[in-house]
Structure 1
Amino acid sequence: MRLLVVVCMLCLLNITAGAQVYKYIDSNKITAYTAYKKQVNADPEKRLVNLKDFIPGLVLDIRYATTNNFTGQRVYNSAMAFARMPVAQALKSIQAELKKKGLGLKIYDAYRPYAITVKFFEIAKDTTFVADPRKGSRHNRGCAIDLTIINLKTGHELDMPTGYDSFTPQASANYKNLSAKKRTNRQLLRSVMERHGFKVYSSEWWHFDYIGWERFELLNIPFAQL
């Protein structure tokens, strides 16, 4: 009898822990690994692609795998970037276009498990610079990219309006009180992204959503399973 009680208590703890991740949204709206694999088998475009392996010369600066981010915590276990197949293909084309000018892409963040979106919201309590967990993020769908442009020869980032994850008015995609150089560099990034099917997020010059993101499900798959 005592053993049965212990087993029941452990089961209840597991259920509670699982529910904690989805407390802002119906758990049926979040896709885990098994369901994701079935979706990919039915539609290969839904596959999450390892961007570093897929795009020649791509540079990663995954801040959430370090403490150098707005949380001050390491929230990713590994510095990796994934995106759905059409997103990855578009980024590959952008990288090739920029390379002709001696430039390239640096990725700050890409696919983000839903559990991380919940954590960000609970730290920031803000839905301008972090996603509302009741809706989920386009990062959770593998269809949003945080990035900038670098000089391939020096490896240095082009001079942009702010640093990454700057929760300030200057981070807005349309902020005007900037130097001519910052405006030119921001417009260069925006133009090349828009030509390849992305739309900038108005509050963050570095954040771009892939047009057509609606057909991709919200995911909560750790990098280790990918």
Structure 2
Amino acid sequence: MKKILIIETNIPKYGKDNRATGLWLGETTHFYDEVISAGYEVDFASPSGGYVPIDPESFKYANEIDWKWYADKNFREFALANTKKIGDLNPLDYVAIYYTGGHGVLWDYPKNAELKNIGEEIYNSGGFITSVCHGAAALLNLMNEEGEYLIKDKLITGFTNEEEELNKTTDKVPFLTETELTRYGGKYVKEAPFKEFVIQDGRIITGQNPQSPKKVGTMLVQELNKLNK
């Protein structure tokens, strides 16, 4: 059985602003818990490989699933301390790629050539593209086999401009996720701020915010199980 590839950020702060960010922990743990509970194997990777910083704010919202995995030494080792480098991976090993969020991804996802290449190869080989929250930034530069942006005319979601404003980070980010997803041709949809919302369009599944990773995982598992029947 092919594996699922989880991508995380290596960026610890908001650009030149010395405010900590990184991975929003629950966007890994809740998705991970769903897919491994369904029997799927997972690899963790990041643009630079190795250490993944965690946004300290995410601990304020941690629940039993987050603490279960964060307390697991093996999980911390392969999911947070020693992630694989994307360039060392074979895209044919994976049936899906999942881009986690946290504000750090806005700096290291969009222009990373290796991340772009592996996403395109997984999708063009029949795999699924999935993301949550700011992780949708990785979708911006993906191209389909016809040379068009992959998200063009696709139903898509990600962190909203309103959520960014409520988070008081509008002036700290290099771009607004909702604005860019729309600018690249996506049919952007959203629900109320900080409420679970996930949308699927073919082999693309995206979640709006930190409340949505579990459902992204559930929907991906449902689709993969159909293929394995």
Q: Above 0.5 in TM-score?
A: no
Of the two, which has the highest radius of gyration?
1
State the TM-score, normalizing by the size of structure 1.
0.27
State the TM-score, normalizing by the size of structure 2.
0.27
